[in-house]
Amino acid sequence: MRANERFSFFFKGKLIEARPGDSIGAAMFRAGVRVFTRSFKHHRPRGLMCVAGNCPNCLMNVDGVPSVRVCTAPARPNVRVTPQNVFPSLDFDVLAASQKFDWLMPVGWYYKTFTSRGAWKRVEPWIRKAAGLGEPPPAMAEFAGEAPPYEHRYIHSDVAIIGGGPAGLSAALDASQQGLRAVLIDDQTQLGGHLRFTPSEAERRDRLVEKVLADEKIEVLSRSHCFGLYEDRLLGVVQLPCEGREIESVAHVRAERVVIATGVFEAPLLFENNDLVGVMLSSGVERLIGLYGIVPGSRTVIVGEGPRAERIAALLRDAGSEVAATVRPDQVVSASGSGRVNGLRTADARIACDLIVVCGHRVPNAGLLHQAGAGLEWTDEKGAFLPTRLPPNVEAVGDVTGDDLSPAVAAPPAYPVSKRCYTCYCEDVTTADLSAAIGEGFNEIETLKRYTTVSMGPCQGRMCQISAIGVCANETGRSMGETGVTTSRPPNPSVSLGALAGGAHTPVRRSPLHHEHEALGVVWMNMGEWKRPRYYASDPSLGERECIEREYRAVRERAGVVDVGPLGKIEVTGRDAGRLLDKVYTHRFGNLPIGRVRYAVICDETGTILDDGTISRLADEHYFLTTTTGNLEFVVQWLEWWLIDTGWDVHIANVTGGRSSINVAGPKAREVLSALTDIDLGTDAFKYMACRQGEVAGVPAILLRIGFTGEMGWEVHVPADYGAHVWKSVLEAGRPYDIRPFGVETQRVLRLEKKHVIIGVDTDALSNPYEADMPWVTKLDKPDFIGKASLETLQSTPAGERLIGFTMLDAGRIPEDGASIVRDGEPVGRVTSARYSFVNKTGVGLGWVKAELAQEGQEIMVRVDGEPVRARVQHAAFYDPAGDRLRM
């Protein structure tokens, strides 16, 4: 598109012509659109007022994104603009009839009316529809396959300047001249602040902007709102889409020094019908004329006095509008018109017009300074709250300091107590509402804000705070300074939740065998950040249960292989390695013979089980630990913590990602692996709970003979870069035995039949080894270790609950994990794991029950689909209780 080429976009399905540089709102206004939105509660028509992105009068839906301030959003070809919060249309909204019944909705209506939860739940959806701020944008899930439309970025700078007006531009150039890196944050599409629409300042503006843009030390963030100034000068900045940037993003800006050059904004004055379409702020009129060449009215009345009113009158006359009168604010009674302005009433006249220009309060935009800890003090002479007591390394420059201010009206202001004199345009709060609330006792500005919601809408007080303080001061007889301001909090201005959330954050951990699983038709499950095979759907004609059974049969009858790469793996080396393990784990490891493996449990000081795994002694000063997947980082930190200040010679290395780990299990596992290694895997040469180092498929490997599945099997750990090679080699070597890969779900069935506990699934934050039916893991006769004192006490304390195994007596009923165990309808325990056992041909599970119900053979009732179903307690394993198959 050429620089001067006109283009079109859609508004309510009709084409609107726009010129280069137009905002959406400006193009619509030029095309004759006057009503831009309907008010939040009363559904009154509202039109452009500030043209600066401050007020809520132009919130519209743009390409599916709600609540876009179209007065500043750049027009782009083919965007689709639709009104929001209207029924059925902008020009005719039946909900505007609510004005007739506003006596039914006094201030604090919600609190007075919906005193029961049921009542609120019934009406809330209707209220949300009637008084909403548009429909939310598409859910993230609906962006599947495309990049999320939000992102974050991080900026470090010596100086951050907020505000691209003359003061901000000068501050940026000053910083650069000092050799500092500066980031300049401006909420408009072009730099220059008010100079942009002040013809006499055009040359100055061009000079400043040109220098800033040419300066490599200055980074400019245009159309970017700083919504928060946090501790240590961290700035939250939302960057809205504009030319050259399609994506809305949040910038985290950290700066050594922050310069606030946010200037002032203009706020409306209080008179009846001050919200009619056609009532505009003087700065809004300046912008329409200066930026877009649009004259907003043919016959104008100006409300104001002094040089500013004179300047606006001259501007309008030059632009071709007839200025019917300039009226002092204290003379105004009301604006008149039905929806749109057709006149202004004073005490003694009615002046016909189609535009009322209000020279309103000029309010220092000091919210960020307030957030940073600065004070705001009222100054009668300036008619404003001015920043004081600035914190270190935060400065204020330009108009925000109030140097050039004078009051628009006397303070506190005079105003009519009326249901049509709007203080808060966002929430439709009137002077009558504020007066009534103060009468009810909400006479402090903070409580008044919360009760009436004044200043809590999208403008966050920009339009209403000064007036609300004025009303509060007037009604309570206090001064403006005594009334004070409400607390400034981020985000201000508002930020979309999508922008705050940013793009996809969830990291994904992949095993070295990830792509091997995909080639085998894996069905994934998420376990924390890990992707793990749930099962393999290698045959499309089979359902999940059939696939799992097929994998199960392979392991029990022939051979299976599972990827256990996500298991935590830690190497502990050094002269004192065994000493550290004896201190941290409940079992003995200092005396573990080289080449042996031992089950290992960690307890905390209270005797609560924290984690389990295996510890293998590979050499005199070299141990190889496995941990549960979820507790790896914790175990590393726990070991390091208990090593601090011991002076022991121990080195702890987390090698989890560097090792690919598989478990080859089943009665034919020996034959499978023997084809790939020279290590003697014979029953006597490589006993159960032994370990060896050697080669498997030509790759250096650690082999542990352990039996989580209940079958003879070896865990094989190899460098991750060879993982796929070893996996494929095992499958190839196992082909004569019809080996099958199996997934986590099959593994869960296998281990449950052996009654092997998964820490964190079958135990919780209160479980100790005695209640968990594993007293053999504690060696209380060894020297002190973590939790020993508590375990000694627990050993002799009657257990309140016990972890039991149970067999379902109704073979067809399998409880869900977490199901209740009940007695006489009352819960007496819970199921932690339950699955159908192919070997027992019924459901088996683990669960916690009150100790008196933990007797062998005790009948218990387990809830299945809401019904109690009989089950029997069994302490021995459900499969191969003697463990013969492990020792084959």
Residue 595 makes contact with another protein by CB under 8 A? no
Question: Of 268 and 723, which CB lies nearer to another protein in the complex structure?
Answer: 723
Residue 154 makes contact with another protein by CB under 8 A? yes
Which stretch in 201-209, 429-437, 555-563, 647-655 sits in contact with another protein by CB under 8 A?
647-655
Question: Of 718 and 834, which CB lies nearer to another protein in the complex structure?
Answer: 718
CA gap 757, 752 in Å, rounded: 8
Residue 728 makes contact with another protein by CB under 8 A? no
8 Å CB contact between 197 and 289: yes
First to last CA, the chain: 78
Residue count at the site for another protein (CB under 8 A)? 48
- Give me the torsion for CA of 573, 576, 579, 583, rounded to 10°: -80
How many angstroms separate the Cα of 699 from the Cα of each of 559, 596, 624, 729?
Answer: 21, 22, 18, 11
Q: In this chain, which of 509, 588, 779, 823 binds another protein, going by CB under 8 A?
A: 509
- What residues have CB less than 8 Å from 817, skipping those under 6 apart? 761, 831, 832, 833, 834
627 three-state secondary structure: strand
* Alpha-carbon 699 to chain mean position: 44
Q: In this chain, which of 649, 792, 856, 859 binds another protein, going by CB under 8 A?
A: 649
Question: Of 80 and 153, which CB lies nearer to another protein in the complex structure?
Answer: 153
Q: What are phi and psi of 155, to 5 degrees?
A: -130, 130
Least distance from another protein to the Cβ atom of residue 623, Å: 12
Which stretch in 506-514, 775-783, 816-824, 860-868 sits in contact with another protein by CB under 8 A?
506-514
Least distance from another protein to the Cβ atom of residue 258, Å: 16
Which stretch in 129-137, 316-324, 460-468, 564-572 sits in contact with another protein by CB under 8 A?
564-572
Residue 550 CB coordination number (10 Å): 18
CA gap 575, 556 in Å, rounded: 41
Residue 222 makes contact with another protein by CB under 8 A? no
Residue 181 makes contact with another protein by CB under 8 A? yes
Tell me the per-residue interface mask from 283 to 322 with another protein, x by CB under 8 A, - otherwise.
----------------------------------------
Residue 439 makes contact with another protein by CB under 8 A? no
Q: In this chain, which of 44, 462, 659, 755 binds another protein, going by CB under 8 A?
A: 659
**Which of 651, 864, 833, 659 is closest to 754 using CA atoms?**
833
CA gap 617, 18 in Å, rounded: 76
Residue 628 makes contact with another protein by CB under 8 A? no
Tell me the per-residue interface mask from 512 to 541 with another protein, x by CB under 8 A, - otherwise.
x-xx--------------x-----------
Read off the tokens for 110: 């919600």
Least distance from another protein to the Cβ atom of residue 519, Å: 10
Residues 27-86 that bind another protein (CB under 8 A): none
Residue 14 makes contact with another protein by CB under 8 A? no
Least distance from another protein to the Cβ atom of residue 721, Å: 4
8 Å CB contact between 814 and 843: yes
Residue 333 makes contact with another protein by CB under 8 A? no
Tell me the per-residue interface mask from 661 to 700 with another protein, x by CB under 8 A, - otherwise.
----------------------------------x-xxxx
Residue 110 buriedness (CB in 10 A; 0-12 / 13-18 / 19+):
middle
Q: How many residues does the chain have?
A: 888
Least distance from another protein to the Cβ atom of residue 825, Å: 45
Question: Of 502 and 667, which CB lies nearer to another protein in the complex structure?
Answer: 502
Residue 655 makes contact with another protein by CB under 8 A? yes
Which stretch in 349-357, 418-426, 653-661, 778-786 sits in contact with another protein by CB under 8 A?
653-661
Least distance from another protein to the Cβ atom of residue 690, Å: 20
Residues 701-720 that bind another protein (CB under 8 A): 719-720
Residue 574 makes contact with another protein by CB under 8 A? yes
**Which of 886, 879, 802 is closest to 846 using CA atoms?**
802
- What residues have CB less than 8 Å from 144, skipping those under 6 apart? none
Which stretch in 150-158, 290-298, 330-338, 796-804 sits in contact with another protein by CB under 8 A?
150-158
* Alpha-carbon 7 to chain mean position: 37
Question: Of 265 and 727, which CB lies nearer to another protein in the complex structure?
Answer: 727
Q: In this chain, which of 211, 252, 553, 782 binds another protein, going by CB under 8 A?
A: 252
**Which of 586, 584, 587, 590 is closest to 621 using CA atoms?**
590
Question: Of 414 and 508, which CB lies nearer to another protein in the complex structure?
Answer: 508
Question: Of 547 and 567, which CB lies nearer to another protein in the complex structure?
Answer: 567
Q: What DSSP string describes 633-667?
A: HHHHHHHHHHHTTT----EEEE-GGGEEEEEEEST
How is residue 141 annotated by DSSP?
G
Strands of the 691-696 sheet, one edge to the other: 691-696, 699-705, 713-719, 659-665, 560-563, 740-741
Residue 503 makes contact with another protein by CB under 8 A? yes
Beta-bridged to residue 562, according to DSSP, are 663
**Which of 554, 737, 580 is closest to 645 using CA atoms?**
580
Binding residues for another protein, per CB under 8 A? 147, 151-156, 181, 252, 254, 503, 505, 507-512, 514-515, 530, 565-566, 571, 573-574, 621, 649, 651, 653-659, 695, 697-700, 719-725
